[in-house]
Amino acid sequence: MPNIVIVGAQWGDEGKGKVVDIFTEFADLVVRYQGGNNAGHTLVIGDDKTILHLVPSGIMHKSKTCVIGNGVVVDPEVLLMEIGRLRERGVLTGSGNLKLSTDANCIMPYHKKLDHLREARLGKSAIGTTGRGIGPAYEDKVGRRGIKTRDLLSENVLRAKLASVLEFVNFQLVNYYHDEPMDLERLLTEGLEWGRQLKPFLEDTPLLIHREMERGRHILFEGAQGAMLDIDHGTYPFVTSSNTVASAACHGSGVGPKDIDHVVGITKAYTTRVGAGPFPTELESDTGERLRQRGAEYGSTTGRPRRCGWLDVVVLKNATRINSLTEIAVTKLDVLTGFKTLKLCVGYEYKGKVFDDVVANGIDLDACKPVYEEIPGWEEDLRDVREFDELPANARKYLQRIEDLLGVPTSLVSIGPGRGETIILSNPFRE
């Protein structure tokens, strides 16, 4: 029955999309459970590159069911555009195999507006959000004034909810930001049209997932963002507004902790971050630029250059703990080819002391100096390697050292963006 959660173990963009696509072959349902279209998950299949923001990364497997769970914040406009593009390419036919929770909260146009206005107001202290309205939408959800996808189906319900929320939203827009208020009638017309188009996809997804589990189906839960962007455990306030850790798969899709069998943490072979906030191993040097160029490190959602640095094992140890990782998958190992020496950050020096197990709480990460362990690099191109034993000896040593430091095994190594450029060491669905 294995059900598996795939999570980012760093600051996002670890290659979750690719790994989900690979493991979907062994699953029946693929479920997104948190975040929204701040995510950009890339799949490279043959010559085709697909970037998914809301639709789960299992969608290229036509016989599998993809679910957008109740914990996701859904921008209906973006979802409809994504569905439209997938239909044009023949990936989706009709409502096909995509299900959307009736309980998911919507990202409304005013959430996007507020996101931009807030960032502008913060100036130099801005978070560097994706500008997709994620924070304001989650605030409304927790504030119990959110619009759920099912609310888009009834004019009476939507009108009443919009009237109530707009009182609050327009007060902020006009009096705090000195901006234009939002118009209820326009939002109502747009919202009802989105509802009409999304209706065929809407479903009680927790019930669907449970029925499938009862039939012995395998579920793959697809995380977005990464552990260091978690609202509780990340580098607050430079985080996203949802829980990104594995336990969110439970409340974001309607299953209990006993239904999760494996948690796979995805990590790049180095570290990247988009947006502002502390990043102890960041390299603002030629080495960082080389990682960015070789790894094509530009955001899948916003196109922003990603900040790059050596692999931070302190971050990964934290991710291992807070997610209960049972294994890791290491991506983009190919990007490290050609570096004479590689560095692994195994601790932080702070006020004369070395810490190897502290990340977000208590110490000022900006004031931490990474403590590095050096490992010799390799020159060989890895993209044609298909077996672990074919990897250069130093690449194997690098992976082994990470595994030893974390105390969890590696189930997959990725050596290129394509489906085939993958070495599977152990398949959690086959355990």
Closest CA to 343 of 410, 266, 291: 291
Catalytic residue among 21, 28, 41, 151: 41
Question: How many chain residues touch Mg ion (CB under 5 A)?
Answer: 3
Mind spelling out the 3-state secondary structure of 51-103?
A: EECCCCCCCCCCCCEEEECCCCEECHHHHHHHHHHHHHCCCCCCCCCEEEECC
The partner residues of 202 in beta bridges, in order of sequence, read: 100
Tell me: does residue 242 bind ligand GDP (CB under 6 A): no
Instruction: At 77, list the tokens.
Output: 């406009």
Cβ-based nearer residue to ligand IMO, 8 or 56: 8
Among 165, 328, 415, 423, binds ligand GDP (CB under 6 A): 415
Among 6, 7, 10, 17, binds ligand GDP (CB under 6 A): 17
Among 5, 8, 31, 227, binds ligand GDP (CB under 6 A): 8
Is 41 part of the annotated catalytic residue set?
A: yes
Mind spelling out the 3-state secondary structure of 196-213?
A: HHHHHHEECHHHHHHHHH
Tell me: does residue 41 bind ligand GDP (CB under 6 A): yes
Tell me: does residue 300 bind Mg ion (CB under 5 A): yes
Beta strands in 253-339 (DSSP E): 262-268, 271-273, 307-309, 311-312, 327-331
Only segment of 37-45, 160-168, 278-286, 370-378 that touches ligand GDP (CB under 6 A)? 37-45
* Residues at the site binding ligand IMO, with contacts judged by CB under 6 A: 8, 11-13, 38-41, 127-130, 132, 134-135, 224-226, 229, 240-241, 274-275, 300
Closest approach, Cβ 241 to ligand IMO, in A, equals: 6
Cβ-based nearer residue to ligand IMO, 83 or 114: 114
Cβ-based nearer residue to Mg ion, 39 or 375: 39
Is 356 part of the annotated catalytic residue set?
A: no
Tell me: does residue 218 bind ligand GDP (CB under 6 A): no
Q: Could you tell me the sign of the dihedral formed by the alpha carbons of 251, 119, 7, 204, in that order? A: positive
What counts of helices (H) and strands (E) characterise the chain? 11, 20
Only segment of 156-164, 318-326, 332-340, 396-404 that touches ligand GDP (CB under 6 A)? 332-340
Cβ-based nearer residue to ligand GDP, 149 or 300: 300
Cβ-based nearer residue to Mg ion, 305 or 338: 305
Mind spelling out the 3-state secondary structure of 352-404?
A: CEEECCCCCCCCCHHHCEEEEEEEECCCCCCCCCCCHHHCCHHHHHHHHHHHH
Strand duo 48-52 + 41-45: pairing: antiparallel
Cβ atoms of residues 135 and 146 within 8 Å: no
Contacts with ligand GDP, residue ranges (CB under 6 A): 8, 12-18, 40-42, 44, 300, 331-332, 334-335, 414-417
Residues with catalytic annotation? 13, 41
